[in-house]
A = this chain, B = another copy of it.
């Protein structure tokens, strides 16, 4: 449903930029699957939640300047090392740890994603806009068949979302005004930061992002331009 601006304003959008983890791919079940492939006895769901819980603090260490510019692959490894002991995984070999730390490259898209992106791509330029590094996002897209026009990443702008440099940088790459770009994301805080920069916003529900056992609040936020169940519903709403 359209929750905010008029059709004429959304008609000006040329670029859709997508949050990736949670919005495009199902990190929770993918990480659970990967750790259980190494160690069937581990509680995969709890492990996925614990690893992801390290994400915001790690971002903050870079944003605050405590760490210099560090790619998400390296942060994922630091975050993994922090939880290995808790899950009785400290005895994994270095090769196993390296393999597991890149599990984020091997996540599967939600079921609507390929068909939805293919429709959206007919009318819009579709790009990632993720804190994932370029190599991670490219490997993920190649494995999953995600038809991006361009991989944009925090790594291009050397700043992590929600830094305005990321949202404004994406519009500038295409010589667009912020209002000609729209962020598509399953997270209200990401959308709020994009909106503060002048981008249009589309919220995608993804109620099972944290696992089917932990349904998240997917209430509409009236400040968003669009609210859609999934990418197929967004394509319907945008007339693609």
**Which residues of chain A have a CB within 8 Å of any CB of chain B?**
73, 125, 127, 133-135, 137-139, 141-142, 149-152, 155-156, 173-175
Contacts and interface: CB of A to CB of B under 8 A. Distances in A.
A134 B156 contact: yes
Contacts of A134: 150, 152, 156, 173
A138 B175 CA distance: 12
B142 A138 contact: no
A137 B135 CA distance: 18
8 contacts: A125-B138, A125-B139, A127-B138, A133-B173, A134-B152, A137-B150, A141-B149, A141-B150
A181 B152 CA distance: 21
Given A142-B125, A151-B150, A156-B156, A135 B174 contact: yes
A152 B133 CA distance: 13
Instruction: Please list the 3 inter-chain residue pairs (A to B) with the smallest Cβ-Cβ separation, ordered nearest first.
Output: A138-B150, A135-B174, A150-B151
Given A141-B149, A151-B150, A156-B156, A135 B73 contact: no
Nearest to A127: B138
A175 B174 CA distance: 27
Contacts of A73: 175
Given A134-B173, A173-B134, A175-B73, A142 B151 contact: no
A76 to B, nearest CB: 13
Contacts of A127: 138
Contacts of A174: 135, 138-139
A156 B169 CA distance: 12
Contacts of A151: 150-151
Given A151-B150, A156-B156, A175 B135 contact: yes
A40 to B, nearest CB: 29
A139 B73 CA distance: 29
Contacts of A142: 125, 149
A155 B155 CA distance: 12
Contacts of A150: 134, 137-138, 141, 151
Contacts of A152: 134
A73 B174 CA distance: 11
A175 B102 CA distance: 12
